[in-house]
Structure 1
Amino acid sequence: MKDIAIFGAGGLGREIALLIQQINEAQPTWNITGFYDEQRFTKDIDGFAYLGSVKELNEVGSELNLVIGIGNCKWKQQVFEKIENPNIKFPTLIHPSVQMRAFQRCEIGEGTVIAQNVVITTNVKIGKHVQVSPASTLAHDVEIGDFCSLMYAINLAGNVKLSRGVYIGTNATVIQLLEVGENSIVGAGAVVTRSLPANCTAAGLPARIIKTHETPA
């Protein structure tokens, strides 16, 4: 059993703890040591210890696997950039219900979490520290950049490209051959029918840009 901790003690982090326990039911792999978070906790989190902030994480003296359980793409990247400890490793976590075989020719980066009942077809490329939430579908030749967050039941059609730091809200769809630019947000339930530029928020059916921002939201 290998030690693993979660950074982020909110809802997503606690869901990742559940996912790890479900992985262990299929094949004992991980020993959850607890949660790190910038917010201080005085009691256990779903039965697991609060271990400290980034400061304490950077002081860990032996190898520790860590997954960043933060949905906000900007905050997720900021936490990663603050971790300077060479003892920290970032494993890829895939729920046992997800079918992944070599003949699918898929690539998945370190620190990425793929939750239960996600469908991934063929030639899909997923970057580092990506969250793919339950019941989502990634069709052929999809490319997902680092630090993206895909919420529940989203659908990416064939040849969709998400650039770095894209957030896709619950039950949203991006149709085939489209691109969503870096640091953009697609609102819950939206249907993207045209490519979106970087640094925007789009919502609706069809999705329309409702906001632009110069830096990651």
Structure 2
Amino acid sequence: MSPKSENKNVRIYGAGGHSQVIREVLEQNGYTVTGIFDDKPTQTHRASKNVTMGLRENIEKFPHNGDPVIIAIGKNSERAEIANFLKSKFEKTIHHSAIISPTSKVGEGTVVFAGAIIQPNTVIGKHVIINTGASVDHDNVIGDYAHVSPKAALCGHVEVGEGSHVGVGAVVIPKIKIGKWCTIGAGSVIIADVPDYATVVGNPGKIIKTVKP
């Protein structure tokens, strides 16, 4: 469980629906949001106010220095791109109802939403999304920029590669390795290793395409 912060400031990059969830978690944890950025500030979520143009317009003039940033963008590839452009410190945030083993590690920029469980000896990379009610069991390794969707369940000793997306309600049996930049379809049951760049759907999961981004 994440302790509440005392008078701590943070900036959010991204102003869509995903950012609304992150902002609520931050504010519940005692943070003050001091700035919101988006590359398309006229197309943001209706609840986002005072949104400033992001760095794609002008990387050099973007205020890299200042309060730490959380990248509130749901698409893994875009989150990775922004993280590599930004020259800022990054913050992570964890919902107060999440359960995280003290022997697990959560990387910078990562967000853990309500009801998520992360069991012992698991390592979560940078800028990862562990979404609402996701279950990540013991001795997992989750790569940078990955996304474990709501109600997905990863059993013990599972590896999820960089940038991969495990869909809503998917189940991954123990000791499975999912490669980088894969897509695991909603509700899929993964019983065999998944190669890089593959899209897998169904029960049992089957590869329907392999596309290198």
| Distance change >3 Å, CA 44–CA 152, structure 1 → 2 | closer
Q: Secondary structure at the match of 2:42?
A: coil
How do residues 49-198 of structure 1 correspond to structure 2 at under 5 angstroms? 49-54=50-55, 55=58, 59-60=62-63, 62-83=65-86, 85=87, 88-102=88-102, 105-198=103-196
Find the aligned partners of 1:42 and 1:209 in 2 and give their Cα distance: 35
| Structure 1 equivalent of residue 10 of structure 2 | 4
Deviation at 1:47, TM superposition (A): 5.3
TM-score for the superposition, normalised by structure 1: 0.88
How do residues 33-48 of structure 1 correspond to structure 2 at under 5 angstroms? 33-41=34-42, 46=47, 48=49
| Distance change >3 Å, CA 124–CA 58, structure 1 → 2 | farther
| Distance change >3 Å, CA 61–CA 111, structure 1 → 2 | closer
- Identity over aligned residues, as a percent? 28
Q: Secondary structure at the match of 1:78?
A: helix
Find the aligned partners of 2:26 and 2:8 in 1 and give their Cα distance: 12
Q: Secondary structure at the match of 2:157?
A: coil
Total equivalences in the alignment: 205
Deviation at 1:2, TM superposition (A): 2.4
Find the aligned partners of 1:182 and 1:80 in 2 and give their Cα distance: 17
CA-based RMSD of the aligned residues comes to: 1.9
* Equivalent AA in structure 2 for residue 100 of structure 1: I
Find the aligned partners of 1:9 and 1:97 in 2 and give their Cα distance: 24
Find the aligned partners of 2:60 and 2:95 in 1 and give their Cα distance: 26
Deviation at 1:40, TM superposition (A): 2.4
* Equivalent AA in structure 1 for residue 38 of structure 2: D
Residues 51-92 of structure 1, C-alpha deviations (whole Å, 9 max, x = no match): 221137953274211111112111111111221x3xx21112
5+ residue gaps, structure 1, are none
5+ residue gaps, structure 2, are 1-6
* Equivalent AA in structure 2 for residue 90 of structure 1: F
* Equivalent AA in structure 1 for residue 158 of structure 2: V
Q: Secondary structure at the match of 1:33?
A: strand
Deviation at 1:43, TM superposition (A): 8.4
